[in-house]
A and B are shown apart, each in its own frame.
Chain A
Amino acid sequence: MPSVSLTVNGKAVAADVDPRTLLVQFLREHLRLTGTHVGCDTSQCGACVVHVNGKAIKSCTMLTLTADGANVTTIEGLAPSNTELHPMQAAFREHHGLQCGFCTPGMIMTAVDMVNRKGNDLDDKTIREELEGNICRCTGYHNIVKAIAAGAKTMGSGGGAQRAAE
């Protein structure tokens, strides 16, 4: 089996993998980072979104071998520490942007990427269009849109990390 080495959430990892192993399988099954989810098999739902070299990608649509040498961030690596939350995580909680929680990691990773690309002042229309690749069945998106707008603002105001426990 070919070997692969990459950085995941700041840690160097190396492994021998079956060449057909998808990045999401590698994260979930080899590294036990189960926060990244699989909700479909056609790259539609976005539950598997992670950051590869700073950009949001659907980890169900990338082979692990393609990620050789890459820098990967998953939902587990987004917060600055175990006791703090990333502002986007905090915004999802504050604005009730999640119910069952299954699509949430992908939503949050997409949202952070959206802010990185589109800035901190996001209107509803932009957010809704940018969420084309993320499906939520619980929230009807209303509160996700609110959470992303608020999270984007906090990220811009240098609000930085928030305490995990309130």
Chain B
Amino acid sequence: MSATGIGAAVRRKEDFRFITGKGQYTSDVTRPGETRAVFVRSPHAHATIKSVDTTAARGLPGVLAVLTGAELAGDKIGNLICGWMIHSKDGSPMKMAPHPAIASSKACYVGDPVAVVVAETLAQAKDAAEKVVVQYEVLPSASDPAKAQAKDAPQIHDVAANNTIYQWHLGDAKAVDAAVKSAARVVKIDLVNNRLVPNAVETRAAIGEYDTGSDSFSLWNTTQNPHVARLVISAFVGVAPENKLRVIAPDVGGGFGSKIFIYPEEVVCLWASKKVGRPVKWVSDRSEAFLADAHGRDHVTHAQLALDADGKMTALKVKTIANLGAYMSTFSSSVPTYLYATLLSGQYEIPAIYCEVDAVYTNTVPVDAYRGAGRPEATFVVERLVEIAARTLGIDVTDLRKRNFIKKFPHQTPVIMNYDAGDYHASLKKALELANYKEFGKRKRESARHGKLRGIGFSTYIEACGIAPSQAVGSLGAGVGLWESAEVRVNPTGSVEVLTGCHSHGQGHETTFAQLVSERLGIPIESVSIVHGDTDKVQFGMGTYGSRSGAVGMSAIVKALDKVEAKAKKVASHLLEASENDIVFKDGKFTVAGTDKSAAWGEVSLHAYIAHKFTGQQLEPGLKEGAFYDPINFTFPAGCHICEVEVDPDTGGTEVVGWTAVDDFGTVINPMIVEGQVHGGIAQGVGQALLEHAVYDRDGQLVSGSFMDYCMPRADNLPSYKVDMTVTKCPSNPLGIKGCGEAGAIAAPAAVINAITDAIGSEDLAMPATSQVVWAALQKANNSRHAA
């Protein structure tokens, strides 16, 4: 391993600009003549828009335009779409309601845009927004997914009877029912996977700009996938043709899924920029982000796990209601279906699985993928059931897991996935050692001496990343292919630019991708630059989400590097006057096999461009190759997380006192960065388990709508983490990478709740397990003990 190659903890190349305040985020970009946009949003969850009077606002100083949904429709700007088709059990397609970027007839959630003000300054735009008079007729609203399908629930969209978007299922219902009937034991759980707000610290922002000279648009945008944004805004929304729209995603301050989607605000900034003839910039406030960014999770689930007398799992049955909010966001339909039910086998050999999912509309902001997207929800179901089963049967929680672990690979689950590689015993074993499981009893007694209840919880999770062969996802309803592209441009002096369709918003691609190129070409890492986030530079790409950048994005780079090496060998053969087949490339040097004749990388790249050693008939000048890589399978990262908590029985206050994570991500390019991804994921998972909750009241008002009310994890809510790895290489891609971005967020909630329920001796515990929730659960458990 070289100091900067694969496996080295290289310090990040991108850090210098961030630690010196020189990052360029969308809100830092200033365009000549730029104006500011402020949205007028519905204060009601569900209301008919009777009229929008913009007269007073338009008369205020600095106001350039006040635009409404009627004008948007008049200009034939199309609706936002959901790009993944799901069919119901009965074969009918999902019920996608029209989603205009600005509502004109009806507002469907608190925060639904009803008008936009464009003014010279932000203050002027804000002042004018307050003078837009909207007359509403308030309608009854539905914000609770569990009640949205009730007969007396308010009907949100004409296209979706009973607010039901689809009733989907996966698996073999008959086999599952038979297994449940004949089971020695069936454990059941009712749970709510709490609704979360992604809350990247950089809020969303957009600058739309129209150039009359070229009749083309530019959009600076906080997006994880600029090309997908361009495609959707062109092909569906119809603001501009694809070749007349440039999307730039500069530095992006965290995404966690919430910046995948195509939102109303960027569409409106583009459209308005042509109307006012100047660039239009919008930067979300935090309070606005709570109302306007896609939320995550929000499942109501009943599940049962059947086991035989030996504690072997025989069947799993799951019924989930998934809240998709007021409109179907870009990939929302796929999250509670193919990203959820397909992972319900966990790390276990379960012969039969059946899952039903009803997706419903409610008068809440749309729900879509958030870190893990479906997989944390699946893991929570499975890992809670496994822990409850072990406790019910009186079997050690690790033993029950071991009895049921999948041991042979490849393994076909009953829910589509074919796990290609893994060693679940190895990660569990290592985690048990690292967590010093043997002495847990001693620690528990020590805690008891201090009046605290100590608990330990496990989560042996699976995830599917690198989504996946395009043909396969196409057959499941995806509207796009999920390959990745790369272009390797070698300069005459031997330095290299890699253009990737992935996008880095914290993941450190500028470093890890450069490590791959540095190792492969034998050139210093400083000679490699990574270019991303601009549709004018990178031809196409699918962006970054679902832990795909390593497994898919880097595989595309490998493929392009293969082509570059092949071409460079041709150049070297002319330079060294040898047969192409005799050229060996190693450590940045081309050698003629069996001789001492050699040429350095820089010589060959120079000769590729000066083209003095070959004719145009023999070889094309230049050294630049592109590749598209389509995966042959999903990847299957897995691991074991162990959480230890101390609960204060007097207050219910819970402290996470220990965290051990042993993950198998396959090949690791940069362990420092991978560990950082694990840390961040755990923090988000602990946040879900203990602190975070997007709460809508009965009238559809978001009660936890600011950092004052929505509890983001702080440093003192979290422990230091022990993080280690085991490695089984992924056989499905050239580098053996599985992906690491979501593991922590997937594993953590179940580990925390398993630990607290272990501590308090009751399984009846909701997320977030705040002091109040834990205290109430303790009282309930104590009371029922006394009663019994």
Q: Hey, which bits of chain A sit against chain B, CB under 8 A? A: 18, 20, 28, 32-42, 44-45, 47, 74-76, 78-79, 85, 89-90, 92-94, 96, 98-105, 108, 124-125, 127-129, 131-132, 134-145, 164-166
* Bound form: Cα–Cα A140–B12 in Å: 18
Asked if residues B21 and A76 are in contact (CB atoms below 8 Å), the reply is yes
B395 → chain A closest CB, angstroms: 32
Asked if residues A45 and B707 are in contact (CB atoms below 8 Å), the reply is yes
Which B662-689 residues have a C-beta within 8 angstroms of A? 672-673, 675-676, 679-684
Asked if residues A138 and B716 are in contact (CB atoms below 8 Å), the reply is no
Asked if residues B715 and A102 are in contact (CB atoms below 8 Å), the reply is no
* Bound form: Cα–Cα A74–B201 in Å: 19
Besides A96-B676, A101-B14, 18 more A-B contacts (Cβ < 8 Å) are A39-B253, A42-B286, A45-B707, A76-B22, A92-B15, A99-B676, A100-B200, A100-B201, A100-B505, A101-B506, A104-B18, A135-B714, A137-B199, A137-B200, A138-B201, A138-B680, A144-B715, A145-B720
Asked if residues A39 and B19 are in contact (CB atoms below 8 Å), the reply is no
User: Is B252 an interface residue, CB under 8 A from the partner?
Assistant: yes
Report the 6 A-B pairs with minimum CB-CB distance, sorted nearest first: A35-B21, A102-B253, A101-B18, A140-B683, A100-B506, A140-B679
User: Is B507 an interface residue, CB under 8 A from the partner?
Assistant: yes
A26 → chain B closest CB, angstroms: 13
User: Is B362 an interface residue, CB under 8 A from the partner?
Assistant: no
Segment from B23-31, B177-185, B307-315, B527-535 that makes contact with A: B23-31
User: Is B770 an interface residue, CB under 8 A from the partner?
Assistant: no
* Bound form: Cα–Cα A96–B13 in Å: 11
* Bound form: Cα–Cα A74–B200 in Å: 22
* Bound form: Cα–Cα A34–B20 in Å: 11
Cross-interface CB contact of A85 among B19, B28, B30, cutoff 8 Å = B19
Q: Hey, which bits of chain B sit against chain A, CB under 8 A? A: 11-12, 14-25, 27-28, 30, 123, 199-203, 251-254, 256, 283, 285-287, 505-508, 672-673, 675-676, 679-684, 706-708, 712-716, 718, 720-721, 744
* Bound form: Cα–Cα A96–B720 in Å: 14
B94 → chain A closest CB, angstroms: 31
Asked if residues A75 and B20 are in contact (CB atoms below 8 Å), the reply is yes
B725 → chain A closest CB, angstroms: 16
Residues of A within 8 A of B672 (CB): 96
Asked if residues B201 and A98 are in contact (CB atoms below 8 Å), the reply is no
Q: Assess A41 versus B19: contact at CB under 8 Å? Given A135-B714, A139-B679.
A: no
Asked if residues B20 and A85 are in contact (CB atoms below 8 Å), the reply is yes
B41 → chain A closest CB, angstroms: 15
Residues of B within 8 A of A140 (CB): 679-684, 713, 718, 721, 744
Q: Assess A36 versus B21: contact at CB under 8 Å? Given A18-B123, A136-B201, A137-B256.
A: yes
Which residue on chain A has the smallest CB distance to residue B676?
A96
Asked if residues B27 and A38 are in contact (CB atoms below 8 Å), the reply is yes
Asked if residues B715 and A145 are in contact (CB atoms below 8 Å), the reply is yes
Residues of A within 8 A of B203 (CB): 38-39
* Bound form: Cα–Cα A35–B28 in Å: 8
